[in-house]
Amino acid sequence: MIVELGHYALVLAFALSIMQTVLPFWGARAHEARLMAVARPVALTQFAFVALSYAALTYAHVASDFSLANVVENSHSTKPLIYKISGVWGNHEGSMMLWVLILTLSGAAMAAFSRAIPPRLLADALSVQGLLCAAFLLFILLTSNPFARLSPAPIEGADLNPILQDPGLAIHPPLLYLGYVGFSIVFSLAAAALIGGRIDAAFARFIRPWTLAAWCFLTLGIAMGSYWAYYTLGWGGFWFWDPVENASLLPWLAGTALLHSAAVMEKREALKIWTIFLAILAFSLSLLGTFLVRSGVLTSVHAFASDPQRGLFILGILVLFIGGALFLFMTRASSLKQGGLFAPISREGALVLNNLLLTASCAAVFVGTLYPLALEAINGDKISVGAPFFNLTFGPLVAPVLLLAPLGQLLSWKRGDLLGAAHRLFFAAVCGLAAMLIFAAINGAPVVAFIGAGVAIYLIVGAFTEIFGRIFPSGLGSSKNAFYRAKGLPLSAWGTAFAHAGLGVTLLGLAATGWGVEKIVAMKQGQTYDVGPYQLEVIGLTSQQGPNYKETLAHMSVRRDGQIVALIQPAKRFFTTRRMATTQAGIVTLNFGQIYVSIADQNESGSLDARLYWKPLVSLIWVGALVMAFGGGLSLSDRRLRVGVARRAAKIPAGAQGAS
Q: Rule CB under 8 A: which residues touch another protein?
A: 234-235, 237, 240-243, 296, 298-300, 303, 305-306, 338, 341, 344, 352, 356-357, 359-361, 363-364, 367-368, 371, 375, 379, 381-389, 392-394, 397, 520-522, 572, 579-581, 583, 598, 600-601, 609, 611
**What residues have CB less than 8 Å from 457, skipping those under 6 apart?**
431, 432, 434, 435, 436, 504, 508
Cα–Cα distance for residue pair 635/492, rounded to 1 Å: 4
Cα–Cα distance for residue pair 373/375, rounded to 1 Å: 6
What radius of gyration, in Å, describes the C-alpha atoms of the chain?
A: 27
Smallest distance from the beta carbon of 337 to another protein, in angstroms?
12
- Of 26 and 239, nearer to another protein (C-beta) is 239
Smallest distance from the beta carbon of 561 to another protein, in angstroms?
27
**Do the beta carbons of residue 613 and residue 531 sit within 8 Å?**
yes
Smallest distance from the beta carbon of 378 to another protein, in angstroms?
8
Taking the alpha carbons of 283, 288, 294, 295 in that order, is the dihedral positive or negative? Answer: positive
Smallest distance from the beta carbon of 105 to another protein, in angstroms?
31
Phi, psi of 53 (to 5 degrees): -60, -40
Cα–Cα distance for residue pair 239/584, rounded to 1 Å: 18
Compute the C-alpha angle 217/219/225, nearest 5°: 95
What amino acid is encoded at 363 in this protein? A
Grouping H, G, I as helix, E, B as strand and the rest as coil, residue 80 is coil
Indicate the Cα dihedral angle 92, 95, 97, 98, nearest 10°: 180
**Do the beta carbons of residue 432 and residue 458 sit within 8 Å?**
yes
Smallest distance from the beta carbon of 453 to another protein, in angstroms?
22
- Of 188 and 275, nearer to another protein (C-beta) is 275
Smallest distance from the beta carbon of 310 to another protein, in angstroms?
12
- Of 585 and 643, nearer to another protein (C-beta) is 585
Cα–Cα distance for residue pair 496/502, rounded to 1 Å: 10
- Of 299 and 527, nearer to another protein (C-beta) is 299
Q: Are strands 549-560 and 571-575 parallel, antiparallel or unpaired?
A: antiparallel
Taken as a whole, the chain contains a residue count of: 660
- Of 309 and 481, nearer to another protein (C-beta) is 309
- Of 19 and 303, nearer to another protein (C-beta) is 303
- Of 115 and 524, nearer to another protein (C-beta) is 524
**What residues have CB less than 8 Å from 551, skipping those under 6 apart?**
543, 544, 545, 571, 572, 573, 574, 584
Smallest distance from the beta carbon of 158 to another protein, in angstroms?
13
The DSSP code for 598 is E
Please provide the distance, in angstroms rounded to a whole number, between the alpha carbons at the two ends of the chain: 57
- Of 245 and 466, nearer to another protein (C-beta) is 245
Smallest distance from the beta carbon of 247 to another protein, in angstroms?
12
Grouping H, G, I as helix, E, B as strand and the rest as coil, residue 473 is strand
Residue 13: which of 93, 92, 99, 100 has the closest Cα? 100
Smallest distance from the beta carbon of 569 to another protein, in angstroms?
17
- Of 305 and 422, nearer to another protein (C-beta) is 305
Grouping H, G, I as helix, E, B as strand and the rest as coil, residue 458 is helix
- Within 523-658, where are the H helices? 620-636, 645-651
- Of 116 and 254, nearer to another protein (C-beta) is 254
- Of 197 and 388, nearer to another protein (C-beta) is 388
- Of 478 and 527, nearer to another protein (C-beta) is 527
The DSSP code for 639 is G
- Of 163 and 194, nearer to another protein (C-beta) is 163
- Of 248 and 359, nearer to another protein (C-beta) is 359
Smallest distance from the beta carbon of 309 to another protein, in angstroms?
14
HEC sequence for 209-262: HHHHHHHHHHHHHHHHHHHHHHHHCCCCCCCCCCHHHHHHHHHHHHHHHHHHHH
Smallest distance from the beta carbon of 74 to another protein, in angstroms?
15
Cα–Cα distance for residue pair 100/91, rounded to 1 Å: 14
Smallest distance from the beta carbon of 163 to another protein, in angstroms?
9
Grouping H, G, I as helix, E, B as strand and the rest as coil, residue 381 is coil
Smallest distance from the beta carbon of 238 to another protein, in angstroms?
12
Smallest distance from the beta carbon of 294 to another protein, in angstroms?
13
**What residues have CB less than 8 Å from 625, skipping those under 6 apart?**
219, 220, 222, 223, 502, 506
